[in-house]
Amino acid sequence: MEDPSGWSLTESDPQVFTQLLKDLGVKGLQVDDLYSLDESTLSTLKPIHALIFLFKYVESSAGGAEESSGIEVDPLDNGVWFANQVINNSCGTVAALNAVMNIPSQSSQYSEESIQLGEELGNLREFGTGMESLDLGHLVSSSPHIREVHNSFSKSSPFSMDSSAFPEREKEDAYHFIAYLPINGILYELDGLRKNPIMHAPIEGEDWLNTARETVESRIGTYPPGSLMFNLLAIRSTPLPRLTRLLNDPSTPSEQKFQIQDQLEHESNKDKRGQMENTLRRNNLLPVVFQLFKALGESGQAGKAVEVARAKGEERREKRAAKGEGDD
Amino acid sequence: MASQISIAAGRSQRREGSKFVDALPEKGTLELRSEDGEYTHFTWKNRVTGQVEDELLVFPGEATFEKVDQDPSGRTHILKFSSSDQKYFFWIQKSDQQVIIRAQVDIDNLIRDPTYRIGSAPLPVPSTPQRPAQERSWPPTPGAPRLSHPEPAPRNAASASTPSAPPVAGSSNDGVMDVEQIPAQESAGGSGQDQMARLLAEWARGGGIAPADDDARLTDVLSPIQMSTLLTTHPSLIPTITPLLPSGLDLPPNPSAQDLLPILSAPQFTDAIASLDNALRSGGLPGNMMRELGLPDNAGQSVKGFLEGLIGLKKDDQPEGGDERMDED
């Protein structure tokens, strides 16, 4: 909220993206962390409709490795919805929109399992038909609702979060978010800071993820080891309705039900945890923090706690000094 | 005619790789002598051994001698060369602010102009101490010295020896950190010097020229482990905390510590604590916010002030220290 652009930073947390999509009216999709591109990892998350690759350079010298394999193509000629990122900090939302705007709607006989863009984004897409990417970028960033949803996740710490005050904290604005997904049988890379979408390769065989895996892995491989921090998110079909249906379906073989039960429990715990964290993100937590500090003081435990924290801080400072860095 | 200045002063050392300046305890003398009006001979002599340990030739316009504003005692000064990045720190071993200011003005003028006549330059006009209302200091200017004493420093301390002298600018420069206002002493020397050196060293440890704050981070003070201890030893806290939590958290009607701890140790909570730490460290929070917590106004001005305020909240009056008994309330 404190950024002059009026857009706060997006946390690279899948639950934030899930809620973001939900609040924008998208149905049937959720976002999860992807810890590996192995077939076994991917299979538990399928169907997957898009990947969001977020990364930052650890060393600026790695910037030279920025060589993309694909070719830039005109989005309008190729039927790709592509918005440029025109506002600071909005890259997470822009990447999510670039992805979901290109995920085809799917209607299912089970209504909860349908994938729909929803009214708001549907209108936005219609309104933006034929627009250049730069104009789409401005269209997105001037939508009060999108901005409001985007910003709603950073209420828990109402003080200005000047990331420069956290030297060893990850500066999330240094992250960059890029979407990878298949559109009309071709793998695209949608990077809001590029002028155009990047066309990578035609999808061969059944699974677009095989093509995407090669592309993403070779991209990661272009950076020297240790110079890149990255995270992968998968935009996938929401599993809860499907798993619940399968569990209750008498035709599901009972030996499969145990596995489904496990998955369901895992997904629903994750969902609860995510909702709890999103609730915390969307509320001012300082009254609780103050109350806890006050109670700590009154309990007489503050002295000891401060002592322990000072020892920790001193250790940290000495370590920094040993590395020859300034203290300020 | 050669001009000469001599004043008791110790050296201060800039710590390698940092902006910290540590006052060294040795007693010494700064001596300046202009040579034929062409340059100034600038030396620092150890008063105990009598050895000249620093010797510099300063040509006109080559250097300045200025007070280091970040030092609340007003004693630390810097000899800075404009032609190179050489810097020398000294702390004047006198307690009278008038004497210190006179010395600074004379030394600065002499090294700029070796024909300068000692004592001829006017002392700086003391500025009216500017004390913005507590609330007006928010939002603060980053790095601006924070006022830890709400009322003006007593003037008589500095001007007592020379009653006719105007109030001294230096005396308004109190409290960047937590160093107490230095009590004026009758004369230089004696045990006061050692205490002074200790205070300066303390000040430097607290950050010196770089505006720094407590080593402790609030996220470590209110760590998940600490919260767990607090809630289990003081279960009566739970009903006061619960209503402050956002609704929609799906808590049971009478939550236990076990129900609350996963929430309180969630990363969003840690971030909220870190943002409070950041706000205190970068200039402070309004005093009325602190008053609501039962803390003194100045607790909002640094992490250190905040933590010390918290320690002061302890309900029984036993001195804090090795005593690890918990009070029952």
pLDDT value, residue A40: 85
Residues of B within 8 A of A316 (CB-CB) are 215
Average per-residue pLDDT for chain A: 84
Closest CA to B182 of B70, B102, B94: B94
Question: β-strand B4-14 against B28-35: which pairing, if any?
Answer: antiparallel
pLDDT value, residue A135: 94
Secondary structure (3-state) at A213:
helix
pLDDT value, residue A318: 85
Percentage of chain A exceeding pLDDT 70: 84
Cis omega (within 30 of 0) for bond into B139: yes
Domain ranges, ordered by start, for chain B: 5-112, 192-317
Q: Which residues touch A242 (CB under 8 Å, ≥6 apart)?
A: A110, A113
Domain ranges, ordered by start, for chain A: 14-237, 285-323
pLDDT value, residue A276: 93
pLDDT value, residue B84: 76
In three state form, how does the secondary structure of chain B look? CCCEEEEEEEEEEECCCCCCEEECCCCEEEEEEEECCCEEEEEEEECCCCCEEEEEEECCCCEEEEECCCCCCCCEEEEEECCCCCEEEEEECCCCHHHHHHHHHHHHHHHHCCCCCCCCCCCCCCCCCCCCCHHHHCCCCCCCCCCCCCCCCCCHHHHCCCCCCCCCHHHHCCCCCCCCCCCCCCCCCCHHHHHHHHHHHHHHHCCCCCCCCCCCCHHHHCCHHHHHHHHHHCHHHHHHHHHHCCCCCCCCCCCCHHHHHHHHCCHHHHHHHHHHHHHHHCCCCCHHHHHHCCCCHHHHCCHHHHHHHHHCCCCCCCCCCCCCCCCCC
DSSP class of residue A224?
Answer: P
Contact B303, B218 (CB under 8 A): yes
Check if B233 contacts A (Cβ < 8 Å). Answer: yes
Residues of B within 8 A of A15 (CB-CB) are none
Select from B215, B273, B318 the Cβ nearest to the Cβ of A317: B215
- How far is B240 from chain A, CA to nearest CA, in Å? 8
Contact B200, B23 (CB under 8 A): yes
Nearest C-alpha in A relative to B308: A303
- ipTM of the modeled complex: 0.76
When pLDDT is averaged across residues A238-253 and rounded to a whole number, the result is 94
A225-240 confidence digits (pLDDT tens): 766 677 889 999 999 9
Select from B230, B311, B329 the Cβ nearest to the Cβ of A306: B311
Closest CA to A94 of A50, A124, A136: A136
Nearest C-alpha in B relative to A291: B241
A271-313 confidence digits (pLDDT tens): 999 999 999 988 889 889 999 999 999 999 999 999 999 999 8
Q: How far apart are CA B259 and CA B253, in angstroms?
A: 11
Nearest C-alpha in B relative to A155: B272
- How far is B57 from chain A, CA to nearest CA, in Å? 31
pLDDT value, residue B195: 59
Contact yes or no for A313 and B214 at CB 8 A? yes
Secondary structure (3-state) at A38:
coil
The topology under which CATH files domain B5-112 is PH-domain like (2.30.29)
Contact yes or no for A299 and B271 at CB 8 A? no
Residues of A within 8 A of B311 (CB-CB) are 297, 302-303, 306
The topology under which CATH files domain A14-237 is Ubiquitin C-terminal Hydrolase UCH-l3 (3.40.532)
Continuous segment of H or E residues that includes residue A22:
helix A14-23
Q: How far apart are CA A143 and CA B199, in angstroms?
A: 57
Select from B230, B271, B315 the Cβ nearest to the Cβ of A156: B271
Select from A279, A296, A326 the Cβ nearest to the Cβ of B230: A296
Check if B264 contacts A (Cβ < 8 Å). Answer: yes
Nearest C-alpha in A relative to B281: A165
Question: What single-letter amino acid sits at B314?
Answer: K
Catalytic site positions of A: 91, 176
* Count of positions (residues) in chain A: 328
A142-197 confidence digits (pLDDT tens): 888 998 888 888 766 655 444 443 433 444 445 688 999 999 999 999 999 889 99
Check if B281 contacts A (Cβ < 8 Å). Answer: yes
Residue A18 has pLDDT above 90, yes or no: yes
In three state form, how does the secondary structure of A41-94 look? HHHHHCCEEEEEEEEEECCHHHHHHCCCCCEECCCCCCCCCCCCCCCCCCHHHH
- How far is A255 from chain B, CA to nearest CA, in Å? 33
C-alpha distances in Å from residue B143, one per residue of A174, A267, A326, B173: 25, 48, 16, 15
Select from B234, B269, B324 the Cβ nearest to the Cβ of A285: B269
Nearest C-alpha in B relative to A282: B246
Interface of B with A in 3-22 (CB under 8 A): 17-20
0.90 exceeded by the pTM?
no
pLDDT value, residue B119: 82
Q: How far apart are CA B241 and CA A295, in angstroms?
A: 10
Residues of B within 8 A of A312 (CB-CB) are 215-217, 220
Check if B82 contacts A (Cβ < 8 Å). Answer: no
Contact yes or no for B19 and A328 at CB 8 A? yes
DSSP per-residue string spanning A255-319: HHHHHHHHHHHHHHHHHHHHHHHHHHHTS--HHHHHHHHHHHHHHT-HHHHHHHHHHHHHHHHHH
Residues of B within 8 A of A272 (CB-CB) are 250
Interface of B with A in 92-151 (CB under 8 A): none
Cis omega (within 30 of 0) for bond into A47: yes
Check if B51 contacts A (Cβ < 8 Å). Answer: no
Contact B29, B8 (CB under 8 A): yes
Contact yes or no for A166 and B267 at CB 8 A? no
Q: Which residue stretches of chain B have pLDDT < 50?
A: 1, 127-190, 206-211, 317-329
Residues of A within 8 A of B319 (CB-CB) are none
- How far is A143 from chain B, CA to nearest CA, in Å? 27
Contact yes or no for B314 and A289 at CB 8 A? no
